[in-house]
Amino acid sequence: MEEKMMAAVLHAPGDLRCEEVEVPKIGPNDVLLKVKAAGNCGSDLQRIMVEGTHVFPCIPGHEFSGEIAKIGEKATSFKVGDRVTAYPLIPCMRCEWCLQGQYNLCEDYDYLGSRSHGAFAEYVKIPVVNLVRLPKEVDFDEGAMTDPACVALHGIKRAGGIRPGQSVVILGTGPIGMLACQWAVAMGAGKVVAVDIIEDKLKIARELGVDVCINAEKEDVVEKVMEETKGKGADVVMETAGSTATQRQSLLIARKRAKVILIGRSYSDVLLPDEVFTRIFRRELEVYGAVNSNFSPLDNEWKISVQFMAARAIKAKPLISHRVKLEDIAETFKKMYEGKMIYNKIIFSP
């Protein structure tokens, strides 16, 4: 095998360079994956352009799929040529959360694409225990979107799931929002409402089974949700956009004892007017935070997600807005950062 590969290496915030680096050396419990598809996570833009990774230089990219090119001597549960995706978080397996199987809350984790090298490269090294096999119905592009599908599922599960007939509002139709809409439909929600300001995204949401789409630039979100829920408000609200407007709306459109799930990270302080904050206790709202996804033998959201994708209950393909070659990655992130492109999921391929 060749010793060198192409990779997008982050040297400092805003300094992403496509260059030749060593192919990672694997240990006995690792595999070397030949990357076939790697997606941009919402967090990557901030990570690459503003905050940087935890170490430099670092190859970003944690949503990916590929084919196993090499296996360590103890990694025998998989073989060369297997098609897989992988949980990007490497748990410490010692902290109280890891011992409970809640790896997403690990106190001392490693992470592909921010603490260790990730998948914006020809090859990536992964511990074999983090792998998930892709069913034959799921292609590499879809496989690379298992991560956001799991993040959406995890958020819903944090709030105890969605019961048949419930009204669900999803604020923001980026990839996670769009996947959350599909989970809501798959779980039998009575009415699924999606809110965004980009008409093209709402159009896709409609095609994916959303009942009501609200363009927040043209309509009053709170009024419209009240109208759609007979004046009561929604049973379940998911905030995936992370904007001040949607954070406020998430509390204003929730009915009494509703579940409000916060997934979108806000990159600034959140100021809630008294009228909005008061809703939390006056309406006895249950507010849940959700981060990442679960990947333990007891609760493996990754296996569930690939099964739902195989059954076409979760469709990831319509979320892809761009396909870009790895060598154009730096330029693409620059354009995204400068607001020069409207995008949803971008798939980078080496």
Residues contributing to the site for Zn ion (CB under 5 A) = 41, 91-92, 95, 98, 106
Give the DSSP letter string of 55-91. SSSB----EEEEEEEEE-TT-TTS-TT-EEEE--EE-
Q: How far is the CB of 99 from Zn ion (least distance, A)?
A: 8
Using the minimum distance from each CB to Zn ion, give the nearer residue, 225 or 320: 320
- Exposure string for 95-108, b = 16+ CB within 10 A, e = fewer: bebbeeebbbebee
Using the minimum distance from each CB to Zn ion, give the nearer residue, 29 or 296: 296
* Bond from prior residue into 175 cis (ω within 30 degrees of 0): no
Using the minimum distance from each CB to Zn ion, give the nearer residue, 91 or 233: 91
Both tokens assigned to 199: 């008409």
Using the minimum distance from each CB to Zn ion, give the nearer residue, 6 or 95: 95
CB atoms within 10 A of CB 144: 28
State how far the alpha carbon of 254 is from the alpha carbons of 164, 171, 187, 227, in Å. 17, 12, 19, 13
Q: How far is the CB of 8 from Zn ion (least distance, A)?
A: 16
Using the minimum distance from each CB to Zn ion, give the nearer residue, 95 or 198: 95
Q: How far is the CB of 274 from Zn ion (least distance, A)?
A: 34
Residue nearest to Zn ion (CB): 41
- In this structure, what is the dihedral angle of CA atoms 19, 317, 237, 299, given to the nearest 10 degrees? -80
Using the minimum distance from each CB to Zn ion, give the nearer residue, 215 or 296: 296
In angstroms, the CA 343 to CA 336 distance is 8
In angstroms, the CA 269 to CA 67 distance is 42
Q: How far is the CB of 210 from Zn ion (least distance, A)?
A: 22
